[in-house]
Amino acid sequence: MPSFGKASGVPEMKSRPLLLGHRGASKYAAENSIAAFDLALKHGCDGFEFDVRYTRDVRCIVCHDAVYRRQRIASRTFAELNLPDVEQVIQKYGARAFLDIELKVPGDAGPILRSLAEAQSRNYIISSFLPEVVRSVADLENNCPLGLICENPAQLRSWPALPVRAVMVHWQLAERNLVDEIRSAGKQVFVWTVNKRKEAERLASLGVAGIISDDTKLLGETFKDR
């Protein structure tokens, strides 16, 4: 896997895009779990995307939904939830995998940035659907590689005004004109969630920087010889 120079952003891929598991290998294991992350790498992915929320005691935990087993994440402490925290994931994978860290809600990203620095992680991006979250992370660390996630045209209007290095677009939006527009502005394009071989190959031909998939086995097999 190619690596960043310090604070250089997402690496340019010459032979193929970055291959990332969506919440790990979520087709084959529980999403956002250590097992799913391990399996994504075993299937040949360069890394994985995972979701972050904040507990009542301001711990950063790995979970997609606001409610986990009938417990509202924001109302519970870390000790009350049997979930991995972001620091654990960074320590375990930060030196050997590309991490797409999606912040689901506003909050203090300082512990995440400190964990990345302590682990000397160089292959990562912090992403969010929320422009205010992107700006808040940039305020904490202006060299942090950031991405705006978009699933509709209205959300796409925000990226030119944001301090992002990548735009993470839903696969149905990823047509040549849009990819070319974003790339011509010096940004990179990540596409989610791509679960068909032909679509992955089409996107690679457009020059996207990363492809995110639930089907990590298919993704690894598609680009195995590239």
Residue 70 lies inside a defined structural domain of this protein? yes
Range of the domain at 154: 18-222
Q: How many Cβ atoms from other residues are within 10 Å of residue 225's Cβ?
A: 7
CB-based contacts of 125, cutoff 8 Å, min separation 6:
9, 10, 99, 100, 101, 145, 146, 147, 165, 166, 190
| Verdict on whether the full-model pTM lies above 0.75 | yes
Token pair 């320590």 is found at 91
Residue 1 lies inside a defined structural domain of this protein? no
Token pair 């959300």 is found at 155
Amino acid, single-letter form, for residue 101: I
Residue 90 lies inside a defined structural domain of this protein? yes
Q: What is the pLDDT of residue 121?
A: 94
Least confident residue range of 4-18, 24-38, 57-71, 138-152: 4-18
128 bridge partner residues:
148
- Tens digits of residue pLDDT in 111-141: 999 999 999 999 999 999 999 999 999 999 9
Residue 119 lies inside a defined structural domain of this protein? yes
Residue 46 has pLDDT above 50, yes or no: yes
Residue 4 lies inside a defined structural domain of this protein? no
Residue 143 lies inside a defined structural domain of this protein? yes
Q: Which of 91, 27, 87, 23 is CA-nearest to residue 59? A: 87
Residue 5 lies inside a defined structural domain of this protein? no
- Secondary structure of residue 132 in the 3-state scheme: helix
- Secondary structure of residue 31 in the 3-state scheme: coil
Listing DSSP states for 92-114 in one string gives HHTTTSEEEEEE-S----HHHHH
Residue 8 has pLDDT above 80, yes or no: no
Instruction: Spell out a b/e string for 57-90, using b for 16 or more CB atoms within 10 Å of the CB, else e.
Output: eebbbbbbeeebeeeebeebebeebebbbbbebb
Q: Which of 5, 7, 38, 9 is CA-nearest to residue 209? A: 9
- 145: domain CATH number is 3.20.20.190
How many distinct structural domains can be found in the chain?
1
Residue 13 lies inside a defined structural domain of this protein? no
The proportion of the chain whose per-residue pLDDT surpasses 90, expressed as a percent, equals: 92
